[in-house]
């Protein structure tokens, strides 16, 4: 697609145009990742109400911070897809975009007369990314799906937490974001296949639970071949021995994780435990895992016995992997975060500066992308409908009065 925003062509995804029909997190964030790197992302929202995430909060004045973070670098238009004229407008817009992203419950677009076949008739090269809780096929296809549903059905929640307590949800919307990442990757693959191999348009079916299940490491093959079902083990993991969340002398928690033999040997040196290096119980990772509780107890005592700075000095000396468990306040002030500008400031025209994560990752041969604040509801109606469809003032006013836009 030819870009209408020439300045964006210097960015990695400049020239691409994505129509974001999604709501809440997984679909919209997949689009935000494109917007972060220069694609023209047009967010389609329900007239007057807008995306549901605008109602979630937290708020500063009347501005939803959730909206500000997850819908930056987009333009917003309003369009009621349930109305015939709304459907007609969308099909016209589809001629001017590379891809459409939606995360409605399966069958929703079809009920509105907007199946992929209908869209593709307007634009044979169109790519449609469809995100749903359980996928477009299968006996559970019509079930609603949210972040914690995917974590549960995808197998992660059942192995998260302590054995004597109920399963625990991860602290952020990991399933939503993991699905968004996989969705953005899938969309890029389809665009590459279309543009580099003349592959044409296609439909992508991504289930949130599958985005979780795909990254459960050896959970499934271990059960398949060894009959071992992983259980909740709190903060220990079979790939780390020793490995735990250890209390420091200053009341904070530090994570230390050891897997390779070389790492264990370095730990022995910094702890002054040469006896461990010849102890048959600790010769391999497998044998150390069998005695992980004993190792963790000894490491915990060693860490608690020294000032934090001394512990860090010794761990750094041993080139060992560790980190304090950070609060958001720690993240905002840490020198490494500051040096890499992991957190940046976006100036919202209504509430002023907002600090949020920047554009990640960094590329050596691409200009740094500035972040455009998340749009007001329908703020690009005139620009988009005039620019892409050539609508007149009278046509726009008619659509507004009928609440089509």
The tens digit of pLDDT for each residue in 119-149 reads: 999 999 999 999 999 999 999 999 999 999 9
Please check whether residue 221 lies inside any domain of the structure.
no
Same domain, 132 and 82: yes
Question: Is residue 11's pLDDT more than 60?
Answer: yes
Q: How far apart are CA 237 and CA 233, in angstroms?
A: 7
The stretch 377-393 carries a mean pLDDT of 97
Same domain, 22 and 102: yes
Question: Is residue 321's pLDDT more than 80?
Answer: yes
Decide which of 299, 326, 353 is a domain's last residue: 326
The two structure tokens encoding residue 362: 């960094």
CB contact set of 54 (below 8 Å; sequence gap of 6+) = 64, 67, 377
pLDDT score recorded for residue 9: 61
pLDDT score recorded for residue 334: 97
Q: How far apart are CA 321 and CA 257, in angstroms?
A: 6
CA 364, 369, 373: angle at the middle one, nearest 5? Answer: 160
Same domain, 196 and 80: yes
Helix then strand then coil, in percent of the chain rounded to 5, is 45, 15, 40
Same domain, 307 and 376: no
Question: What 8-state DSSP symbol labels residue 157?
Answer: G
The stretch 158-165 carries a mean pLDDT of 97
DSSP states along 105-166: PTTHHHHTT--HHHHHHH-TT-EEEEEESS-SSSTTTTS---HHHHHHHTTSGGGSS-TTS-
Question: Is residue 3's pLDDT more than 70?
Answer: no
Q: How many other C-beta atoms are found inside a 10 Å radius of the C-beta of residue 299? A: 19
Strands 40-45 and 17-20: parallel
Question: Is residue 24's pLDDT more than 80?
Answer: yes
Same domain, 21 and 129: yes
Per-chain mean pLDDT for the chain: 95
Question: Is residue 286's pLDDT more than 50?
Answer: yes
Query: Confidence class of residue 312 from pLDDT cuts 50, 70 and 90?
Result: very high
Decide which of 296, 326, 356 is a domain's last residue: 326
Same domain, 69 and 160: yes
Same domain, 306 and 361: no
Closest CA to 80 of 121, 114, 125, 37: 114
Same domain, 208 and 292: no
Please check whether residue 135 lies inside any domain of the structure.
yes
Among the residue ranges 56-60, 291-295, 365-369, the one predicted with the least confidence is 365-369
Q: Is 176 a catalytic residue?
A: yes
pLDDT score recorded for residue 7: 43
Same domain, 84 and 143: yes
Tens-digit pLDDT profile for residues 224-266: 999 999 999 999 999 999 999 999 999 999 999 999 999 999 9
Decide which of 274, 291, 326 is a domain's last residue: 326
CATH code of the domain covering residue 64:
3.40.50.10540
Question: Is residue 88's pLDDT more than 50?
Answer: yes
Please check whether residue 81 lies inside any domain of the structure.
yes
Please check whether residue 290 lies inside any domain of the structure.
yes
pLDDT score recorded for residue 145: 93
Same domain, 149 and 191: yes
The stretch 352-376 carries a mean pLDDT of 93
Number of domains in the chain: 2
Please check whether residue 238 lies inside any domain of the structure.
no
CA distances from 289 to 111, 180, 294, 300 (A): 54, 35, 10, 16
Same domain, 347 and 320: no
Q: Which is catalytic among the residues 176, 330, 334, 376?
A: 176
Please check whether residue 337 lies inside any domain of the structure.
no
CATH code of the domain covering residue 291:
3.30.1540.10
φ, ψ of residue 171 in degrees (nearest 5): -70, -15
pLDDT score recorded for residue 2: 43
Please check whether residue 335 lies inside any domain of the structure.
no
Whether residue 101 contacts residue 27, with contact meaning beta carbons closer than 8 Å, is answered with yes
For residue 346, the enclosing domain spans 6-215+342-401
pLDDT score recorded for residue 8: 57
Tens-digit pLDDT profile for residues 331-347: 999 999 999 999 999 99
Please check whether residue 389 lies inside any domain of the structure.
yes
Cα first-last separation, the chain: 25
Same domain, 118 and 186: yes
Closest CA to 150 of 213, 217, 208, 219: 208
């Amino acid at each position: 697609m030819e870009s209408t925003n020439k300045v964006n062509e210097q960015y990695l995804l400049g020239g691409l145009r994505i129509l974001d029909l999604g709501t809440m997190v997984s679909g919209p964030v997949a689009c935000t990742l494109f917007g972060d790197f220069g694609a023209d992302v047009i967010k389609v929202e329900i007239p007057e109400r807008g995306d549901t995430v605008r109602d979630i909060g937290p708020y500063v004045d009347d501005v939803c911070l959730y909206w500000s973070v997850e819908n930056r670098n987009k333009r917003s238009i309003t369009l009621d897809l349930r109305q015939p004229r709304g459907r007609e407008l969308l099909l016209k817009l589809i001629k001017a975009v590379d891809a459409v992203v939606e995360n409605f419950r399966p069958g929703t677009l079809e009920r509105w007369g907007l199946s992929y076949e209908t869209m593709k008739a307007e634009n044979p090269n169109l790519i449609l990314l469809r995100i749903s809780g359980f996928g477009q096929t299968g006996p559970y296809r019509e079930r609603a799906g949210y972040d914690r549903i995917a974590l549960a059905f995808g197998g992660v929640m059942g192995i998260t937490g302590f054995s004597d307590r109920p399963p625990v949800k991860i602290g952020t919307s990991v399933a939503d974001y993991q699905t968004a990442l996989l969705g953005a990757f899938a969309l890029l693959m389809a665009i590459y296949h279309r543009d580099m191999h003349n592959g044409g348009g296609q439909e992508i079916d991504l289930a949130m639970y599958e985005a979780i299940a795909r990254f459960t490491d050896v959970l499934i093959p271990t059960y398949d071949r060894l009959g071992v079902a992983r259980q909740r083990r709190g903060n220990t993991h079979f790939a780390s021995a020793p490995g735990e969340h250890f209390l420091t002398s200053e009341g904070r928690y530090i994570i230390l994780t050891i897997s390779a033999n070389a790492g264990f040997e370095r730990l022995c040196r910094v702890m002054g435990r040469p006896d461990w290096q010849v102890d048959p119980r600790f010769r391999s990772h497998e044998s150390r895992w069998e005695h992980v509780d004993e190792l963790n107890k000894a490491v915990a005592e060693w860490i608690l016995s020294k000032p934090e700075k001394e512990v860090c000095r010794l761990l750094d000396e041993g080139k060992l992997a560790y980190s304090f468990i950070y609060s958001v306040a720690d993240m905002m002030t840490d020198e490494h975060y500051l040096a890499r500008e992991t957190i940046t400031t976006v100036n919202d025209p209504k509430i002023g500066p907002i600090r949020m994560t920047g554009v990640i990752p960094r590329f050596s041969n691409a200009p740094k992308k500035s972040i455009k604040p998340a749009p007001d509801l329908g703020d690009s109606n005139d620009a988009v409908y005039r620019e892409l469809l050539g609508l007149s003032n009278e046509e726009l006013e008619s659509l507004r009065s009928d609440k089509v836009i």
